[in-house]
Amino acid sequence: MIEMEHVTKRFDGGGTAVDDLTLEIPQGVTVALVGPSGCGKTTTMRMINRLIEPSEGRITVNGEDVRSVDPVIFRRHIGYVIQQVGLFSHMTIAQNIGSVPKLLGWSADKIKARNEELIALVGLDQSMLTRYPRQLSGGQRQRVGVARALAADPPVLLMDEPFGAIDPIARTRLQNEFRQILQGVNKTVVMVTHDIDEAVRMGDRIAIMRAGKIVQYDTPDEILSRPVDAFVEDFVGADRALKRLSLYEVSKVMQPGVDPAAAAKIAPDADLRNALSAMIAANTDRLAVVNAAGAPVGTVTRDAITAL
Amino acid sequence: MTLLNQAVTWIIENPAQFNRALGQHLLMSFVSILFALAIGLPLAVVILNRKAAAFLAVNSVNALRTLPSLAILAIMMPILGIGLWPSIVALTILALPPILLNAFIGLRDVDPDALEAATGMGMSRSQILWKIRVPLAAPAMFAGLRTACVQVLAGATLAPFIGGGGLGDFIAVGIAGMDMSRLLVGAVPIAILALLAEFLLSMAERLLFSERNPAT
Ligand SMILES: Nc1ncnc2c1ncn2[C@@H]1O[C@H](COP(=O)(O)OP(=O)(O)O)[C@@H](O)[C@H]1O
Ligand SMILES: [Mg+2]
């Protein structure tokens, strides 16, 4: 759990980067901090692990005021992932992932076992452990960056534009995979992004920022269905209704019974946006829902989707 | 060719004199490189986070670099007198710029993302220095050492002007006596030493740091 209370950051010679910001992130929840460039997302995040000291306000992590602890020791218990990853090019992947455990004084055997576990968790082959960062692709490096951040099993994970340097095709896949990984590890996660689609895809909650303030802090569904003002409405985009549909799977609105008239098929775990798109493509108002084995399990109608 | 034969013959006939000069040459060079490393590397670390000190050090050392080797030797003479030690001091001054500048720039220009990640994961300042900055700057430091070695081996040729001895003695004698073969007794081994140092150190550089820049 992370609490920020009336936090302000003024830089010397600069303006107010973060302005009287209050934010509460419950244990185990992933919050996407999203907003236009320069609105103070990175500054907000870096105050949590004390890479930046707030000018005013109070920040607690799991009940502990971050000012009361030694920042260096404290950071070892907070995972940190940055856009450019920042792998250590003179170290192997194994040494990179084992950096924090080594700082914490784990035994070599324990570090080795943990490395093997993590490299599998982020979907890489064990043979990668003996390689050097330069031998990996951008996407592989970002996976290693996440493995490194998770190494000592920190309760909190901070990620600043973790997919920003990855090409768009690999990005979507990585986002979906990381969403799965994060759901499995029960971390409190703060993820900074300027991309509303990424925020919708990754966040349990979304905090939309503008000029150092949070303008709306809600679930993706709420943000997309009820933006609080014109700024949020504009930021989430004119296709917000479609974005909202992508939050849900076909199985959520599926009706029992197989309709022999259905002209096209869809999988139960496809999202509703794709279902609607399939209907438009087939010029129909209902789809047969077909499981992986090819057996029909139900029907999804356009009315059911739009009623959501 | 006959000149070279004469030079070789001279070396074979006067091994003690040749070996003594070679020994002096290597000793002078080696000791001054050690001094330059002992001064330059810690100094690079000290000025790393001190802007004013870094500015001062980099500019002084750059000024030193523009001085010709002969001028450095000439300046040493009135201050330190003549002999081996003044030559070593002069050669240390010659070796210092490449060692200090390469180390400083190498340490300063370490990948900022690696530094950000290291800080963010909870490394202390000294851990960042020893585990991240120094290893990442090592290739630059090594390149500075290589330049310094070649410069010092060549620069030691001038040591005889302040009584430092070494292979340069033969060159001085050769020029004074218009004896080209004696001149070669000094010049050829100096050239070979400089080339050998360059070759061996660049081999070592490749062996030490190749893993980080794999061809694949
Ligand atoms: N170290 C700094 N010194 C002065 N101003 C800064 C510094 N870091 C960030 N800022 C300013 O604070 C504002 C917020 O920056 P940042 O938090 O990086 O934005 P974001 O991550 O949302 O793009 C920007 O106007 C930026 O120029
Ligand atoms: Mg940012």
User: What sign results for the dihedral spanned by CA atoms A290, A296, A301, A306?
Assistant: negative
- Written as six digits, the tokens of A231 are 């700024």
Q: Which of A72, A85, A134 sits opposite B113 (nearest CB)?
A: A85
Band (pLDDT 50/70/90 cuts) for residue A13 is: confident
Q: Do A113 and A84 sit in the same domain of this protein?
A: yes
- Written as six digits, the tokens of B2 are 């006959």
Closest CA to A59 of A73, A39, A43, A82: A43
- Written as six digits, the tokens of A301 are 């109608």
Does A239 score more than 70 pLDDT? yes
Chain B residues interacting with chain A (CB cutoff of 8 angstroms): 111, 113-124, 127, 132, 135-136, 138, 211-214, 216
**CA-closest residue to ligand 1 atom 2:** A11
Mean per-residue pLDDT for A3-24?
A: 95
**Boundary residue ending a domain (A244, A260, A295):** A244
Ligand 1: which atom is nearest the Cα of residue A40? 17
Q: Do A131 and A7 sit in the same domain of this protein?
A: yes
Q: Do A182 and A238 sit in the same domain of this protein?
A: yes
Q: Which of A73, A77, A132 sits opposite B214 (nearest CB)?
A: A132
State pTM to two decimals. Answer: 0.88
The beta strand positions in B65-156, using DSSP E, are none
Percent of chain A with pLDDT over 70: 100
Do B5 and B19 form a contact (C-beta atoms < 8 A)? no
Q: Do A198 and A93 sit in the same domain of this protein?
A: yes
Which of B107, B111, B115, B121 best tests the A interface by mutation, with the highest count of A CBs <10 A? B121
Q: Do A187 and A256 sit in the same domain of this protein?
A: no
Instruction: Check which CATH number belongs to the domain holding A254 and give it.
Output: 3.10.580.10
Q: Do A113 and A140 sit in the same domain of this protein?
A: yes
pLDDT, tens only, B113-125: 999 999 999 999 9
Tokens 């004896």 sit on residue: B179
Would you say the CB of residue A43 lies under 6 angstroms from ligand 1? yes
> What's the CATH code, domain B2-100+149-209?
1.10.3720.10
From chain A, the residues in CB contact with B142 under 8 A are none
Cα angle value A271/A273/A275 (rounded, 5°):
70
Distance CA A22, CA A225 (A): 23
Q: Which of B116, B132, B136 sits opposite A82 (nearest CB)?
A: B116
Ligand 1: which atom is nearest the Cα of residue A52? 1
pLDDT, tens only, A128-162: 999 999 999 999 999 999 999 999 999 999 999 99
Q: Do A232 and A288 sit in the same domain of this protein?
A: no
Q: Do A14 and A122 sit in the same domain of this protein?
A: yes
**CA-closest residue to ligand 1 atom 3:** A11
Average pLDDT, chain A: 94
pLDDT, tens only, B86-139: 899 999 999 999 999 999 999 999 999 999 999 999 999 999 999 999 999 999
CB contacts < 8 Å between A and B, how many? 69
Q: Do A176 and A282 sit in the same domain of this protein?
A: no
Q: How many domains does chain A have?
A: 2
pLDDT at residue B213 in the model: 61
Q: Do A32 and A64 sit in the same domain of this protein?
A: yes
Would you say the CB of residue A18 lies under 6 angstroms from ligand 1? no
CA of A242 to the centre of ligand 2 (A): 27
**CA-closest residue to ligand 1 atom 10:** A17
CA of A194 to the centre of ligand 2 (A): 8
Which residues, in sequence order, are CB contacts of A148 under 8 Å at separation 6+?
A87, A96, A97, A99, A100, B117, B121
ipTM summary value: 0.89
Instruction: Check which CATH number belongs to the domain holding A117 and give it.
Output: 3.40.50.300
Average pLDDT, chain B: 91
**Which element (helix H / strand E) includes B28?**
helix B15-47
pLDDT, tens only, A166-194: 888 888 888 988 898 888 888 999 999 99
**Boundary residue ending a domain (A244, A277, A294):** A244
Amino acid at position A200, single letter: V
Does A81 score more than 60 pLDDT? yes
Rg (CA), chain B: 21
pLDDT at residue B215 in the model: 44
**Boundary residue ending a domain (A244, A259, A292):** A244
Does A64 score more than 70 pLDDT? yes
Q: Do A114 and A30 sit in the same domain of this protein?
A: yes
Judged by DSSP in three states, A79 sits in strand
pLDDT at residue A93 in the model: 97
Expressed as residue numbers, the domain containing A282 is: 250-307
Q: Do A238 and A282 sit in the same domain of this protein?
A: no
